[in-house]
Amino acid sequence: MKSHYQKPRYLIVIEQIREKINNGELEPGEQLPSETALAKALGVSRNTLREALRILEEENIVIRKHGIGTFVNRVPVFQGGIEELFSITELIEREGKIPGTEILFTGYVEPHRDDVEELELEEDEQVFLVKRVRTADEVPLVYCIDKVPDSILHKRYKLREESIFNSLRDAGIVINHAESKINTIAYHDEISKIMNCDQHTPLLVLRQVHFDELNRPVLYSINYFRSDQITFNVLRKRI
Partner DNA sequence: ACGGATTTGTTCGTATGTATA
Partner DNA sequence: CTATACATACGAACAAATCCG
Tell me the sheet residues that pair with 70.
64
Q: Compute how many residues bind DNA; rule: CB under 7 A.
A: 28
Q: Give yes or no for residue 235 binding DNA (CB under 7 A).
A: no
Binding residue for DNA, selected from 46, 97, 188, 216, defined by CB under 7 A:
46
Site string for DNA, 58-97 (x = CB under 7 A): ------xxxxxxx---------------------------
Exposure of 194 by Cβ count < 10 A (0-12 exposed, 13-18 middle, 19+ buried)? middle
Smallest distance from the beta carbon of 90 to DNA, in angstroms? Answer: 25
Integer CA distances (angstroms), 196 to 89, 97, 98, 150, 162, in order:
20, 19, 19, 32, 22
Classified as helix, coil or strand, 201 is: coil
Q: Give yes or no for residue 6 binding DNA (CB under 7 A).
A: yes
Binding residue for a second copy, selected from 34, 41, 78, 170, defined by CB under 8 A:
78
Integer CA distances (angstroms), 135 to 49, 91, 97, 156, 193, in order:
44, 11, 9, 27, 15
Q: Give yes or no for residue 75 binding a second copy (CB under 8 A).
A: yes
- Residues near a second copy (CB under 8 A) are 63, 73-75, 77-78, 81-85, 175-187, 199-204, 208, 211, 215, 227, 231-239
